[in-house]
Structure 1
Amino acid sequence: MEHFVRRLDAWVALLLMGLSILATFKVAGSGQLFEVFTVNRTLVWVYLLSAILLMGGVLTRDQTAHTASASLGFFFVVLAVLGIGTSSLLDLPLSRGNMWLHFGVGIALLYDWKGTNRAASRMPPETPPLHESSNESSNESSVTGSARRKT
């Protein structure tokens, strides 16, 4: 499960990175990407920073990375919900295809939360306390070592 979640994060990061690269060239032109997505500089930076955070999480394999991707998922779902009521917020275009893209990315990243909770609830295997195992091994070694010297 954890491997699938990491792979999902990587694909979403590559999607956002690709969109930010393509949108960089369209910002100076019509501001439309594939005639579906409205793009501007602010949205390019949001996609680029999100992709960097997700790729960093994939490469570090850290529990914090899963939490960060879940947080980004909430962010993108909120952007999608706000896109229903308004076409732009803080210079972020939210309407049309952007709303559906943000919703899809948000749901994909929120699916990561399932992997985060599962990994956090796993308990490490029980091992005997360090002082007990070291005392037993030291007693055995001293007994066997003394028996060898006498013989």
Structure 2
Amino acid sequence: MAATEASTIVEDLKDERIPNAMYWTVDQVAEWIEELGFPHYKSCFTTNMIDGRKLIRIEASAFPRVGITDFEHIKIIAKSIRDLLTVEEPDWTRSISVPPRSNLGMYLELKSARGKQIDTTTLVQFEQQHSDPKWRPPLANHCLILPHN
């Protein structure tokens, strides 16, 4: 781990808005799933190398591929992950009347990926660089709204 990445983690963990679980190792995630009451799924998480950052992106629909097939367990684990990481409800359940996503949600989504720039970005830097990082739907048809005469 590079020194700048380590200092980024330290800065993030000083920020009380950032859930500590985001930086959990694979073993810490496995311990958490055991404490949640599902010790038989520890190997599902360790075999698939799911650490705290991967927890952010894992969707309930992916659980059968990692070995979790009981629907009730999937619902409990998915909800527990969202609660643990303070991640908002999945996009497909969001109404258009719901306010845009939070800065923290957008940051956690960014940090779920890997890369030098992402690994060295803190929440404070993210907020400074993105004055309004709220999600907006793409306007793929913005030039086709009005018919051409």
> Do the two structures share a fold, i.e. TM-score over 0.5?
no
TM-score when normalising by structure 1:
0.27
TM-score (norm 2): 0.27
Query: Which structure's residues are more often strand, by fraction?
Result: 1
